[in-house]
């Protein structure tokens, strides 16, 4: 209750007194009033890039030409992946991108954000919404000739559930026994722990990829095969040199139409500036990046086609509520108030990215314009910290092993993924902003270790990027009390029973308006808990050479136009190269 009062009060004063931020001061002048008219005014929405007031901005060449077959598409991915087995490796954006070439998912999002049947023919829920019957399309085979049938779907599902890593996200949703059953040759039944009206959204990404059971069995025996995926997708695996190039060739017998490209090649190029230069120089035909500097250069170019999308992940500071000091709301709010959000926008986001106040962008039906992300007020943070220290100063921070306070300042550890120059810059910026209220030890850890520490609760605060599933049902797993344990997916380890109840109601709800209202209530509770300090909506730019056509021409076999981009992932099944 105290939380609610504090936030409400905070909201009142925030819009007028922005600490030291010349950038935010002139922000309203730059934003386009015509597009914003329909929306209630955003107190702290930064001006988005170009005219990207819409969630996805597409500057693609007109698609009235007749497709031409042939050619090789060369695409730069931001990093290589350690394996392409969707049942063994947790696939990042580059992994999903390459996986999307070789695997098909059971369902896919249409342009309105609704999950529709794709590799599956239909999804039918039971009356209690606890079990879903999935019917497969007949006559589809994997690249190795194995038929796609119920047994194959079950094999992929069970392999994912058994995987130590991938299984973490699967196991909480299903009972230990009887999670999946074969009904007949082409029908599978999934049984969930809780009623769920939007189950198909789960199988639009990695969890929906179906791999050849013969290959899965072989890969279990010979790990080298994890690099040579076999699916039903528009492209067949051809060759792969780790950290260098992964090549796929056309699947002439694809079940969902003609594929035009002869081959697809993926090159890991870690430095976004280099990737951009390669695209300008015609060395590659496409890239994806979240680097603000590169996006500015790519969008400024008239020839290059850009697909901009910031509906996906948000960047935020995350706090661990299972360890002092952030088990106390005042400490969490102090960190939020101290966070230099305006400077972050200007110096890290280069005023290109939109500031985030919550998990949803303003265009989303789930967005709540009334929510305010507190920040940019170090004086207020210092007052809160002093108040906290006066009362709890004797507690011990289990992460640092030292008392939670030193004088009036709270002592915390901040972890970020490295080695990374960008990460170091963000750390410097945060530490400088927090310094009035916090004494910060900065620890740079490898990405894997950061995730591990977050899962094990061995952190005070971290820089994080997450959320932004097209359907919020899929993000529930990161919020529910059920995923708190020795290994938590609820990283802040913050349990709110009422929030869980709202999430369960929302995932069983059919009426979109009621559902949106339920998610707005969830969002308000997230805001009250102050476990996250939202910074920005991550923007992905999928940039393509002038000759690339129809990347956004995807359709389901039932003729439904599909969403063509999500979190840096695009699909090439309809793409072709002009001239």
Residues near another protein, by CB under 8 A? 20, 22, 82-83, 85, 88-89, 164-165, 167-168, 219, 223-224, 226-227, 241-245, 267, 269-271, 273-274, 277, 293-294, 340, 343, 347, 418-421, 424-425, 428-429, 431-433, 441-444, 446, 448-449, 451-452, 455-456, 485-487
Kindly state the smallest distance separating residue 166's Cβ from another protein, in Å: 10
Kindly state the smallest distance separating residue 154's Cβ from another protein, in Å: 18
Q: How many C-beta atoms lie closer than 10 Å to residue 575's C-beta?
A: 26
Distance CA 329, CA 334 (A): 8
Tokens of 510: 């059919």
Around 80, how many Cα atoms within 13 Å sit in the side-chain half-sphere?
15
Q: How many C-beta atoms lie closer than 10 Å to residue 412's C-beta?
A: 26
Give the nearer residue to another protein in terms of CB position, either 223 or 557. 223
- Measuring CA to CA, how many Å separate 448 from each of 12, 269, 451, 536, 571? 40, 20, 5, 23, 27
Q: What is the DSSP string of 173-198?
A: GS-SSSSEEEEETTEEEEE-SS--S-
Distance CA 262, CA 489 (A): 41
The answer to whether 188 and 95 are in contact (CB under 8 A) is no
Kindly state the smallest distance separating residue 22's Cβ from another protein, in Å: 6
The answer to whether 532 and 491 are in contact (CB under 8 A) is no
Give the nearer residue to another protein in terms of CB position, either 161 or 549. 161
Distance between first and last Cα of the chain: 64
Q: How many C-beta atoms lie closer than 10 Å to residue 365's C-beta?
A: 14
Kindly state the smallest distance separating residue 64's Cβ from another protein, in Å: 36
Q: Rounded to the nearest 5 degrees, what angle is found at the Cα of 59, between the Cα atoms of 57 and 61?
A: 150
Kindly state the smallest distance separating residue 429's Cβ from another protein, in Å: 6
Give the nearer residue to another protein in terms of CB position, either 187 or 294. 294
Nearest to 529 by CA among 498, 483, 486: 498
Give the nearer residue to another protein in terms of CB position, either 138 or 175. 175
Give the nearer residue to another protein in terms of CB position, either 295 or 470. 295
Tokens of 349: 């986001």
Kindly state the smallest distance separating residue 454's Cβ from another protein, in Å: 8
Give the nearer residue to another protein in terms of CB position, either 194 or 444. 444
Give the nearer residue to another protein in terms of CB position, either 200 or 340. 340
Kindly state the smallest distance separating residue 109's Cβ from another protein, in Å: 27
Nearest to 210 by CA among 250, 145, 265, 150: 150
Can you give the C-alpha Rg of the chain in angstroms?
Answer: 24
Distance CA 153, CA 341 (A): 45
Kindly state the smallest distance separating residue 243's Cβ from another protein, in Å: 4
Tokens of 448: 């894997």
Q: Residue 550: left (phi > 0), alpha (psi -120 to 50), or beta? A: left
Query: Could you tell me how many helices (H) and strands (E) the chain has, helices first?
Result: 16, 26
Give the nearer residue to another protein in terms of CB position, either 84 or 356. 84
The answer for residues whose C-beta is within 8 angstroms of residue 519's C-beta and 6 or more apart is 366, 472, 502, 506
The answer to whether 148 and 139 are in contact (CB under 8 A) is no
Kindly state the smallest distance separating residue 553's Cβ from another protein, in Å: 29
Dihedral sign for Cα atoms in the order 91, 96, 99, 105: positive
Kindly state the smallest distance separating residue 551's Cβ from another protein, in Å: 23
Kindly state the smallest distance separating residue 435's Cβ from another protein, in Å: 8
Give the nearer residue to another protein in terms of CB position, either 114 or 442. 442
Give the nearer residue to another protein in terms of CB position, either 117 or 378. 378
Give the nearer residue to another protein in terms of CB position, either 17 or 271. 271
Give the nearer residue to another protein in terms of CB position, either 107 or 225. 225
Kindly state the smallest distance separating residue 337's Cβ from another protein, in Å: 17
Q: Is the peptide bond before 235 cis (omega within 30 degrees of 0)?
A: no
């Amino acid at each position: 209750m105290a939380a609610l009062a504090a936030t409400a009060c905070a909201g009142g004063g925030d819009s007028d007194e922005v600490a030291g931020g010349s950038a935010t001061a002139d922000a309203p002048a730059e934003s386009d009033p015509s597009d914003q008219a329909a929306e209630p005014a955003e107190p702290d929405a930064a001006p988005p890039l170009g005219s990207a007031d819409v969630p996805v901005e597409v500057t693609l060449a007109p698609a009235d030409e007749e497709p031409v077959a042939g050619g090789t598409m060369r695409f730069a991915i931001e990093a290589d992946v350690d394996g392409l087995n969707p049942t063994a490796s947790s696939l990042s954006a580059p992994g999903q991108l390459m996986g999307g070439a070789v695997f098909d998912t059971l369902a896919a999002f249409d342009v309105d954000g609704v999950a529709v049947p794709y590799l599956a023919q239909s999804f039918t829920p039971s009356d209690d919404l606890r079990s879903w019957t999935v019917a497969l399309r007949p006559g589809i085979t994997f690249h190795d000739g194995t038929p796609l049938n119920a047994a194959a779907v079950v094999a992929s599902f069970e392999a994912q559930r058994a995987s130590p890593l991938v299984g973490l996200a699967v196991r909480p949703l299903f009972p230990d026994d009887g999670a999946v059953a074969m009904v007949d040759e082409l029908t599978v039944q999934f049984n969930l722990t809780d009623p769920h009206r939007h189950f198909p959204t789960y199988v639009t990404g990695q969890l929906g990829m179906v791999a050849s059971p013969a290959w899965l069995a072989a890969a279990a025996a010979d790990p080298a095969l994890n690099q040579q995926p076999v699916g039903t997708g528009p492209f067949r695996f051809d060759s792969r040199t780790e950290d260098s190039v992964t090549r796929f060739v056309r699947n002439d017998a694809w079940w969902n139409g003609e594929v035009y490209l002869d081959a697809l090649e993926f090159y890991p190029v870690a430095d976004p500036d280099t990737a951009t230069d390669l695209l300008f120089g015609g060395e590659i035909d496409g890239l994806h990046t979240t680097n603000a500097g590169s996006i500015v250069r790519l969008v400024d170019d008239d020839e290059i086609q850009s697909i901009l999308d910031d509906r996906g992940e948000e960047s935020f500071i995350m706090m661990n509520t299972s360890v002092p000091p952030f088990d106390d709301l005042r400490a969490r709010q102090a960190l939020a108030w101290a966070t230099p959000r305006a400077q972050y926008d200007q110096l890290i986001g280069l005023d290109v990215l939109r500031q985030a106040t919550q998990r949803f962008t303003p265009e989303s039906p789930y967005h709540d314009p009334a929510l305010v992300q507190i920040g940019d007020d170090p004086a207020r943070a210092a007052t809160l910290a002093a108040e906290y220290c006066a009362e709890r100063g004797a507690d011990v921070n289990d992460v640092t092993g030292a008392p939670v306070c030193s004088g009036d300042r709270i002592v915390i550890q901040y972890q970020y993924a490295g080695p990374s120059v960008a990460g170091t810059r963000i750390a410097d910026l945060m530490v400088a902003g927090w310094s009035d209220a916090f004494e910060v030890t900065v620890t740079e850890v490898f990405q894997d270790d950061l995730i591990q520490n977050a899962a094990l609760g061995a952190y005070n605060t971290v820089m994080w990027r997450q959320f932004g599933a097209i359907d919020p049902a899929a993000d529930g797993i990161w919020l529910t009390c059920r995923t708190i344990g020795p290994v938590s997916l609820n990283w802040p380890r913050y349990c709110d029973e009422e929030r869980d109840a709202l999430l369960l109601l929302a995932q069983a709800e059919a009426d979109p308006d009621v559902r949106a209202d339920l998610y707005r209530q969830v969002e308000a509770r997230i805001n009250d808990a102050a476990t996250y300090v939202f910074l920005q909506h991550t923007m992905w730019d999928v940039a393509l050479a002038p000759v690339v056509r129809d990347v956004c021409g995807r359709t389901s076999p039932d003729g439904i136009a599909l969403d063509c981009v999500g979190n840096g992932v695009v699909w090439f099944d309809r793409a072709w190269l002009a001239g």
